[in-house]
Structure 1
Amino acid sequence: MRVGVYICHCGFNIAGVLDIDELVEFAKSLDDVVIVRDYRFMCSNPGQELIRRDIKEYNLDRVVIAACSPNLHERTFRKVLSEAGLNPFFLQIANIREQCSWVHSDDSVKATEKAKRIIKSAVERVKRHRPLEIRKADVIPRVLVIGGGIAGISASLLLAEAGVEVYLVEREPTIGGNMAKFDKTFPTLDCAACILTPKMTAVRENPNIKLFTNSEIIDVKGSVGNFKVKIRVKPRFINEEACTGCMECVEACLHYPMIPSEFDEKIGYRKPIHMQFPQAVPTCPYINPNECLHFLTNKCPMYCEEVCEADAIDFNQNERIEEIEVGAIIVATGFKLFDPSVMEEYGFGRYKNVFTALQVERMLNSTGPTGGRVVVNGREPESVAIIHCVGSRDERYKKYCSRVCCMYSLKLAHLIKERTNAEVYNFYMDMRTFGKGYEEFYKRILDEIRTIRGRVAEVTDVPINEDEKREVEKGKVIVVVEDTLLGKIVRIPVDMVILSPAMEPSEGTKELARILKVSLDENGFFKELHPKLAPTVIAPGIFVCGCAQGPKDIQDSVAQAESVAGHALSMIDRGYIELEPTTAYVDEEKCSGCGICIPLCPFQAIEIDERKRAKIDELLCMGCGVCASSCPSRAIKHRLFESETIRAEILSLLK
């Protein structure tokens, strides 16, 4: 056996803590090691060329790279071995950065000793590696996009325009997502509908996009390149193909009282039969069976059915399950706003003049419940307070920054000033204007509003003097805050308070993650495999974009959506994907057919065959090793983590 050991300095990440010369001398003393080299950046082109040259010159059988985590560059170095004519799986990464220099930077001597043991165990392990071969699997040339907001729409259109068949699934009766509720977008103040509506129409008209609204994913099986998906399609009780969108049925509905509209953030009202907004796609109303008198009492005169000349009303529609097969999945499920009612100090739900930012967006929108007018207590406000970071950057609720709150708060301030004569106050912790053109927008708005730095302590209607009492009697509330720049407490009476809540994962994110068998991060958003190397991949063949991954603005959401569409398109164009051979397999002579492994497999890759033996589908197996660790007969083994290799690794540390 001829082993080469290559030790990376990683700049000062490793060499700043570990004694590289000492590690080189130690590695030279190990059995079967014929060449040891160190280099400042082993992953660089010169470093890779050094390894390729040595493999050929020294006729190496195995290679150990002592560097960073295999998550970063294992694929890089496997490619180097393959190019040099060596099986790429005759490689072992000794992680002496994350598991050594980074965690023991306070004691160089002990860290160096630990690094020696890591390198020694890696050498013993790699000598027992077996030659594995990368597998190939065909890719079904169709893509599932989950979520019909601006990110999901953008990804779908890009794929469809490239000739790929797309299934777009949206849980609401219309696509458009939260952006459909907006009036204008920052920093250019473009009309949101002018950007979004043409894209929604393009989705409807593109023959390569199959649109499922009022639908949700209930099951996903298979693996990258070959996913089998079940979609629950709920009935609209109106035939989309027959409906002309005339809205006569909505006018004819006699339901009373009116129902608070979820699309209008419950400051507007609707009927059980309704269309969320005029530009909705599909251009077809929806009947909510939990509200419609026909379903609840069977005593409705059903005037909606009588006035429909297209005969589109169909109360006999039933829920159905659609089964599709796709090669890739894109998750674009968007966000919802944090519920500020849990922060009792701000009075949301208690005071009629406290609103969320999205409620004000609906006021400002010409199709909203107030027709574009900002109204509080039946009149235009003379003074408005906008409170930033409601729930964000707060240890009690959401620790993270929601990124866009400062910008949309400034946008709302500008639009309110534009349409009223109100004095607008912005209460902020830190003004974060991170994007292209955002700083210029901020400086422009500064001339129109008053800004006060400090987290608002409370919104109250309890006055402390006669002046405040008169203001409260006029219907105002008092915003109490410490101005941290002036170093004093200020109390400002205002007609209207606008809360800028945190962005958080959309409803159903946890359940969808369970169905897809992917992870969520500490904040509940979909977790990418690596923030830099795979920032949009959450599992092989499953991508994430937009606010499903974390708070971001429209510009970043669209850019990320088109990025993941490119990923999916490259898979489909190639026609196949390469699968890691690092899977589990069954020793049939030892298998008793007990079936313990079957429910434990998170990828449903195991079944019992006709001989009562466990059988692993290698296209589905992701090599997690759960089955191998749970098998009471020790019949299941892992190709890369076999008992012999792990035992050799451990025993080397005892010598």
Structure 2
Amino acid sequence: MAKVGVYVCHCGSNIAGVIDVAAVRDFAETLPDVVIARKDLFMCSDSGQEMVKQDVRDGVVDRVVVAACTPRTHEPIFRAAVEKAGLNKYLFEMANIRDQDSWVHAHDHEGATEKAKQIVASAVAKARNLEPLEDKFVPVTDAALVIGAGIGGISAALELANMGHKTYLVEKRPSIGGVMAQLDKTFPTNDCSACILTPMMVEAYNHPNIETMTYSEVDDVSGYIGNFKVKVRRKQTYVDWNKCTGCGDCASKCPAKTPDEFNAGLSDRRAAFIMFPQAVPKKAVIDIDHCINCAGREIGTQPKSNQKTGRPILAPCERACPAEAINRSLAHDPNGTIREIEVGSIVVATGYQVMDKDWFKEMAPASPNVITALQLERIISATGPTEGKLLRPSDHEKPHTITFVSCMGSRDEHFHSYCSRFCCMYMIKQARLIKEKYPQITINMHFIDVRAFGKGYEEYYTGARKMGINFFKGKVGGLEMLPGDKLRVLAYDMEAATPIEYASDLVVLATAVELPKDAVGLAQKLGLQFCGSNFFRELHPKLGPVETAVEGLFVAGCCQGPKDIPDTVAQAKGAAAAAAVPLAQGKVKIEPIISEVHQEICSGCGICVPLCPYHAISMQPSDNGPRARIEMSACKGCGVCTSACPSGAIVLHGYEEAQIFAQIEALTA
């Protein structure tokens, strides 16, 4: 016969302010097999845990039920306590009378107390039927994968590599660096972005423990924590990077043009191109989607011979390359080259994109002088399309009046309700840089609120006001195009309680930060979930900010939510530290609360296989034909397969039939 101990927590006033704790304790004493019932102000405190441990040590109880807060955060505390006292930690059950009771029935004290009694009765009924379970361990592949090579991905990769772990750094573009590589300077210190980032890029690329895989994308992920199998697809470059010296001669001779993504579409690049001057690796790529097959030389064909000289007729890029690194004879393969790697943990740091101005029809997006803040960043950058000169896109003349508009797509119920966090600061940075260089230019900034949240940010903002930059609290209602490529700004000044109308030469929109378009496909491959703001969901907003629902998979940077560079680096280092734990241990613990197939009952129907959200089930051959098999390392104990199995062949340890029916009976008694 089980000896159950029940321990009811006041949780300060969180529980006791609504529920009659003493009444619940008294009720618990009447339940079958309950030998002792106690209460404490805070069961999770040392005194509360010691109470439980002492009863276990004295042999008073051999099953423990704690009625307190959510198991999500507190169950590990009590499992550790009973285990330390000498009891199998899976002979413990938690009754959540806070989240599921006192917090949702705050105005019905009597009803909440009765519900708490039912919850406790259900937990006791299950505890009476609990059986000891044992943790299992599986070996870990000592390697990590970092997806995305912006400042977050580079920081995570360097942390992992410096801890001695082999790290694969995958980036979909030809060079690492991400959005930070497009910036001119960074707030609040106005440091040169390239001066900070480029040494890190070079260090990561040359690190003996980092293998950089650029122009590549994750194609498929299978496996589980400690033993992920990843397929990485590298796109064709048509340039032998072992020979390419990064001279750029091929780009200078290529006649095909397309908008330059690195310059935010403000200039053109060639089909043969190097991403930017400080690219790492600094290697050329032929963009087959924009190649015009000049000189009659199509990709995948051998060159024709000159009838007079007998020499092959080469395309301009081939003729220009002094290293003979370009090979247009390679047949076009849209699938590229697949490489399979094995890693123990994965960090996702895929960054963000900014909304395009075309979403905002009231802001005259057809005008070339309405630009996004990222486009302005490229204009004022020395490596940008104007070599750092502040010139309007329409006529390449210096503007006399510049208007900044905040929260375009952010804090907007029509687009994104969230704040993009760092927009205020980068607009102030851009305004300050322009005012320092061109003090005669009039700069007007329109904000809903100025959110200067970081260290030194408020001082940076107040410094901008002292420089003579005009700040207006209130939205811009719209823009009108005027002759001479000017724009009429229609706004409202809430502090002066008056409408504003003036002409501006250049308007800069701080468009919202959002996940890149290919994030959905990546999430499906990795098993990631999305939060309400459509960023990758973390396991817990406070206690698990880098973990995800998929064990061994971590998130960092703006793919988890908008954040500035310091916060991105901090989270990336945190994700790297968490990802390194299983690698350093060499093994990973598998919870025993998992599903198991009774092979003698399984009919081999296969219904469970596609239903498993963790891809833990497969059909394996046996003497009686194919039968379901569950990989214990991948199983998360969700129970979907158990409920779907028509043969009743799958049992979920810790939630077995006798336990569940006992709980139901207790709830309905």
User: TM-score with structure 1 length normalisation?
Assistant: 0.96
Task: Say whether 1:435 aligns with 2:446.
Answer: no
Q: 1:295 to 1:237 in 2, by over 3 A?
A: farther
Distance 1:120-1:316 versus aligned 2 partners, 3 A rule? farther
- Amino acid paired to 1:346: M
> For 1:304, which of 296, 308, 317 is the aligned residue?
317
State the 1:531 CA deviation: 1.2
Q: Following superposition of structure 1 onto structure 2, how do residues 39-438 of structure 1 map, counting pairs within 5 Å? A: 39-255=40-256, 258-294=257-293, 298=297, 301-317=314-330, 318=333, 319-348=336-365, 350-376=366-392, 377-420=395-438, 421-438=440-457
Q: Is the 8 A contact 1:221 1:603 kept in 2?
A: no
State the alpha-carbon separation in 2 of the partners of residues 326 and 622 from structure 1: 19
The aligned counterpart of 1:645 is 659
Secondary structure at the aligned position of 1:644 is classed as helix
1:631 and 2:645 correspond: yes
SS across alignment from 1:492: strand
Correspondence for 2:470: 450
2: distance between equivalents of 1:45 and 1:579?
A: 28
Offset, 1:574: 1.2
Checking the alignment, whether the CA contact within 8 Å between 1:240 and 1:282 is kept in structure 2 is no
Do 2:295 and 2:316's aligned partners in 1 also have CA atoms closer than 8 Å?
Answer: no
SS across alignment from 2:15: helix
Indicate conservation of the 8 Å contact 1:340/1:391, yes or no.
no
| CA deviation profile, 1:570-613 (whole Å, cap 9, x unmatched) | 22111111111111011222211111111222222222222232
Q: 1:477 maps to which residue?
A: 487
- Larger mean CA deviation between 616-625 and 313-322 belongs to 313-322
AA aligned opposite 1:333: T
Task: Give the residue type in structure 2 aligned to 1:203.
Answer: A
In the TM superposition, 1:460-499 aligns within 5 A as 460-461=480-481, 472-499=482-509
Q: In structure 1, what is the equivalent of residue 305 of structure 2? A: none
Unaligned 5+ segments in structure 1 are 462-471
Measured in 2, the distance between the counterparts of 1:441 and 1:58 equals: 64
| Contact 1:595-1:608 at 8 Å conserved across structures | yes
With over 3 angstroms needed to count, the CA separation of the structure-2 counterparts of 1:43 and 1:371, relative to structure 1, is same
Letter of the 1:592 counterpart: S
Partner of 1:500: 510
Equivalent residue number for residue 18 of structure 2: 17
Check 1:460–1:67 CA distance in 2 against 1; reply closer, same or farther (3 A cut): same
- Deviation per CA, 1:92-139: give whole Å up to 9, x if none: 111111111111111111111111100110100111112111111111
1:569 equivalent in structure 2 = 580
The TM-score, its normalising length taken from structure 2, stands at 0.94
Q: Is the 8 A contact 1:166 1:210 kept in 2?
A: yes
Q: Give the unaligned 5+ runs of structure 2.
A: 299-312
Q: Could you say which residue in structure 2 is the equivalent of 1:468?
A: none
Question: Which residue of the partner structure matches residue 526 of structure 2?
Answer: 516
Does the C-alpha gap of structure 1 residues 295 and 509 become closer, same or farther in structure 2, counting only changes over 3 Å?
farther
CA distance in 2 between counterparts of 1:422 and 1:475 reads: 17
Deviations 1:242-264 (A, max 9, x none): 11111111112233xx3211111
Task: Tell me the amino acid that sits aligned with residue 260 of structure 2.
Answer: S
Shift of 1:315: 2.3
Give 1:467's aligned residue. Answer: none
* Separation in structure 1 between the aligned mates of residue 320 and residue 94 of structure 2, nearest angstrom: 72
1:614 aligns with 2:624: no
Aligned partner of 1:222: which letter?
G
> What displacement does 1:301 show?
4.6
- The answer as to whether partners of 1:290 and 1:296 remain within 8 angstroms in 2 is no
**Aligned equivalents of 1:277, 1:522: Cα separation in 2:** 35
CA distance in 1: counterparts of 2:275 and 2:19, whole angstroms = 63
Alignment length (residue pairs): 642
Q: What secondary structure, in the 3-state scheme, does the structure 2 residue paired with 1:77 have? A: helix
Deviations 1:173-215 (CA, angstroms, capped at 9, x unpaired): 1110000000000111100000100011111211211111111
Q: What's 2:604 paired with? A: 593
The answer to whether the Cα contact below 8 Å between 1:289 and 1:295 also exists between their aligned partners in 2 is no
- SS of the counterpart of 1:222? strand
User: Residue deviations 1:440-490, cap 9 Å, x none?
Assistant: 1111111121000011111113xxxxxxxxxx3343211111211121211
2-structure distance, mates of 1:131, 1:321: 45
Deviates more, 1:27-36 or 1:363-372: 27-36
1:12-58, Cα deviation, whole Å (9 max, x unpaired) = 21111111111111111211112222222211222222211121124
Which residue of structure 2 lines up, in the alignment, with residue 466 of structure 1? none
Map Cα deviations across residues 255-297 of structure 1 (whole Å, 9 max, x no partner): 3xx3211111100111101112100011101110011122896
**Cα distance in 2 between the residues matched to 1:340 and 1:79:** 54
Q: Is the 1:149–1:334 Cα contact (8 Å) retained in structure 2?
A: yes
Instruction: Report the 3-state secondary structure (helix = DSSP H, G, I; strand = E; otherwise coil) of the residue aligned with 2:86.
Output: coil
Counterpart amino acid of residue 329 in structure 1: I
Distance in 2 of aligned mates of 1:297 and 1:19: 86
Offset at 1:170? 0.6
CA distance in 1, matches of 2:483, 2:411: 34
Query: Does the CA contact (< 8 Å) of 2:295 and 2:314 recur in 1?
Result: no
Distance in 2 separating the partners of 1:414 and 1:296: 49
1:373–1:419: 8 Å Cα contact kept in structure 2?
A: no
Q: Does 1:581 align with 2:580?
A: no
Checking the alignment, whether the CA contact within 8 Å between 2:603 and 2:627 is kept in structure 1 is yes
In structure 1, C-alpha distance between the alignment counterparts of 2:284 and 2:508, rounded to whole Å: 31
Instruction: Out of 19-28 and 51-60, give the one that drifted further.
Output: 51-60
Choose 355-364 or 607-616, whichever is displaced more. 607-616
Q: Is the 8 A contact 2:246 2:274 kept in 1?
A: no
